């Protein structure tokens, strides 16, 4: 596996030049655009890494998967009374569908509007403890107590998060949630600013691969049903408005973030984390997508076989 990963990282590395760093959060422009890394954990918990796996990065939208898992496991399908599960052909931060459809109900929990709505839903139950509980859940999935908020990125997100503020206020104004906008956005910005490594993403993915069980301890974090629903939403909505294209070319339930990370779940087999901060025009890691595509072909990982 190590040899395979090293070879595919080498082949995919040039694709880092096909993307650009996210620039709407100034702090993200400090990342190394040429970085590329992968970690893959099998169903027994054995992990293999390659490339720049020591490079830290903020989790950004990959955290939306953890938020969704927490919400589904805690409150069940009632979550879907507030957030849809349909893909949109609009951009990741679009506000249009909030207005023309569903009167303020976001299309799905893996785009910004929907993740904000999911956090608002949780915050209505958990109040100010929302971030503490969500981040603890994430650390447990990753089995890494050292994961913390990158304060510089967090400050940068807060300073420049006006589109997310618009998404939150629009939903609040449409009476889509009752939680405090400030608490919701603060939780959202902190979750996005958690600093991780590819191994953390791979371990989080691996719990999904095992349908909720931490393999080393046998502890069940969430039910099979929660895992199944989450994997299906990742498949149809996880890669922004190229989710359909990713399903055709890669076929692995995944979620990307503008920090360059991608979390991928091969059911019953592998949890995968990749990093490549240079993004394509859809907001997904350019080299990360290429690397996953090659890996999927080589190891027959598509769920659509």
Active site residues: 61, 64, 188, 240, 258
Helix axes 112-126, 181-192, angle to 10 degrees: 120
Q: How far is the CB of 36 from its own copies (least distance, A)?
A: 25
The residue among 168 and 196 lying less far from its own copies, judged by its C-beta, is: 168
Q: How far is the CB of 81 from its own copies (least distance, A)?
A: 13
165 forms part of the interface with its own copies (CB under 8 A): yes
96 forms part of the interface with its own copies (CB under 8 A): yes
Residues facing 220 on adjacent strands: 213
- Which of 3, 145, 218, 268 lies at the binding interface for its own copies (CB under 8 A)? 268
95 forms part of the interface with its own copies (CB under 8 A): yes
How many residues can be counted in the chain? 305
252 forms part of the interface with its own copies (CB under 8 A): no
Spatial contact of 291 and 49, defined as CB atoms under 8 Å apart: no
DSSP H helices, the chain, are 2-12, 63-75, 96-100, 112-126, 130-142, 151-160, 162-173, 181-192, 198-209, 224-237, 243-249, 286-299
- Which of 167, 179, 279, 289 lies at the binding interface for its own copies (CB under 8 A)? 167
The four Cα atoms 204, 205, 206, 209 give a dihedral, to 10 degrees, of: 140
> Mapping DSSP to helix (H, G, I), strand (E, B) and coil, where does residue 158 land?
helix
Q: Which stretch binds its own copies (CB under 8 A): 117-125, 127-135, 192-200, 296-304?
A: 296-304
Residues facing 194 on adjacent strands: 149
287 forms part of the interface with its own copies (CB under 8 A): no
209 forms part of the interface with its own copies (CB under 8 A): no
152 forms part of the interface with its own copies (CB under 8 A): no
255 forms part of the interface with its own copies (CB under 8 A): no
303 forms part of the interface with its own copies (CB under 8 A): yes
291, exposed or middle or buried, with CB in 10 Å at 0-12, 13-18, 19+? buried
- Which of 123, 237, 279, 286 lies at the binding interface for its own copies (CB under 8 A)? 237
Nearest to 46 by CA among 197, 225, 210, 194: 210
> Mapping DSSP to helix (H, G, I), strand (E, B) and coil, where does residue 52 land?
coil
Tell me which residues touch its own copies (CB under 8 A).
80, 84-90, 94-97, 99-101, 107-108, 160-170, 172-174, 181, 211, 224, 228-229, 231-233, 235-237, 241-245, 247-248, 251, 253, 267-268, 302-305
């Amino acid at each position: 596996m190590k040899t395979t990963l090293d070879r595919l990282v080498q082949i995919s590395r040039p694709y880092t030049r096909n993307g650009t760093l996210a620039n709407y959060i100034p702090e993200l422009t400090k990342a190394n655009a040429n970085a590329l890394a992968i970690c893959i954990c099998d169903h027994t918990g054995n992990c293999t890494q390659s490339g720049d796996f020591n490079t830290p990065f903020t989790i950004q939208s990959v955290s939306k998967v953890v938020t969704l898992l927490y919400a589904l496991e805690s409150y069940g399908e009632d979550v879907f009374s507030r957030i849809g599960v349909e893909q949109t052909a609009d951009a990741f931060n679009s506000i249009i569908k909030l207005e023309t459809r569903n009167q303020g109900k976001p299309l799905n929990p893996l785009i910004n509007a929907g993740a904000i709505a999911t956090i608002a839903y949780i915050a209505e139950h958990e109040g100010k403890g929302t971030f503490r509980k969500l981040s603890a859940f994430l650390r447990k999935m990753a089995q890494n107590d050292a994961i913390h908020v990158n304060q510089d990125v967090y400050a940068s997100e807060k300073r420049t998060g006006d589109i997310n503020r618009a998404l939150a206020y629009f939903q609040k104004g449409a009476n889509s949630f009752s939680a405090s906008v400030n608490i919701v956005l603060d939780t959202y910005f902190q979750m996005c600013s958690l600093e991780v490594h590819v191994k953390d993403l791979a371990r989080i993915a691996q719990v999904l691969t095992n349908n909720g069980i931490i393999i080393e301890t046998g502890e069940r974090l969430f039910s099979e049903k929660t895992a199944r629903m989450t994997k299906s939403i990742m498949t149809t909505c996880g890669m922004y408005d190229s989710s359909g294209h990713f399903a055709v070319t890669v076929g692995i339930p995944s979620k990307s973030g503008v920090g360059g990370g991608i979390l991928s779940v091969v059911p019953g087999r592998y949890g995968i984390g990749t990093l490549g901060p240079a993004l394509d025009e859809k907001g997904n890691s350019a080299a990360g997508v290429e690397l996953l595509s090659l890996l999927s072909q080589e190891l027959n990982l598509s769920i659509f076989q």
